[in-house]
Amino acid sequence: MDYTFDWTVLWRYREALWTGLVITVELSIVALVAAIIIGIMAGTVSTSRNRWFRFAAYAYVEFARNIPLLVHILFWYIGLSALRIPNFWCTVLGLAIHSGAYIAEIVKSGIQSVPAGQTEAAISSGLSRFQTRMDVVYPQALRIVIPSMAGMFSQLIKDSSLASVIAVTELAFQAGAIEGDTFRSFEAYIGISILYLIFVSLLTQSLNLLFARRERTSRANSL
């Protein structure tokens, strides 16, 4: 079957694509911040000496990770429709809760990788447990988990495309609208694939440069 590409479709619908990209960026950033907060809290609690706190963190992680992301989003959108939560925030909640569970495991592994002797030495020197966490454990754990966190951030951006299911007008939704108007499926979806690729690549490279710079600064300060 012959198919003639018409890339002018992307130019004609440039405003819709730009709107979709802006909403995708906003959605990803808000969900990312929320997921980091949830993940750090749950990851920290999972290393608590209190077994009930550890169990609560474990229950959250298992619950959030073993339910598909789409179900998380639809739960807030349909299951709690009486609360009239805007579609944008339904997606943010779903992404944050789902991704936060993975970040919690990353944070937990980073904290556990810091030698216990350093925590004991810090407490013995007079630091409180909170100060020990903030000044001794977290800085070291952060350097360990940075590569995994960067990958998690990229995954969250790509997962945001599921927002189109509940009519959030991000990139995937705009591509579907363009396809419906023009029947140019290939052009529409190849176009947003390129935008996703550019966005995720820029974010990943920026994070890698930032983390590499921090690492060089830390090494210089330690000398």
Q: Which residues contact 219 (CB under 8 A, 6 or more apart)?
A: none
Q: Which of 191, 155, 153 is nearest to 172 (CA)?
A: 191
Question: pLDDT tens digits for 163-196?
Answer: 999 988 899 999 999 999 988 889 999 999 999 9
For residue 170, tell me if it sits in a domain: yes
SS3 content of the chain, % helix, strand, coil (to 5): 85, 0, 15
For residue 3, tell me if it sits in a domain: no
For residue 166, tell me if it sits in a domain: yes
Q: Please give the tally of structural domains in the chain.
A: 1
pLDDT at 169: 87
Residue 5 — φ and ψ, nearest 5°?
-70, 140
- Whichever domain contains 125, its CATH number is 1.10.3720.10
For residue 2, tell me if it sits in a domain: no
| CB of 182 closer than 8 Å to CB of 166 | no
pTM of the model: 0.84
For residue 134, tell me if it sits in a domain: yes
| DSSP count for the chain of H helices, then E strands | 10, 0
Question: pLDDT tens digits for 61-109?
Answer: 999 999 999 999 998 888 877 788 888 999 999 999 999 999 999 988 8
Model confidence at 13: pLDDT above 70: yes
pLDDT at 56: 93
Query: What is the span of the domain harbouring residue 195?
Result: 8-222
Question: pLDDT tens digits for 32-70?
Answer: 999 999 999 999 898 888 889 999 999 999 999 999 999
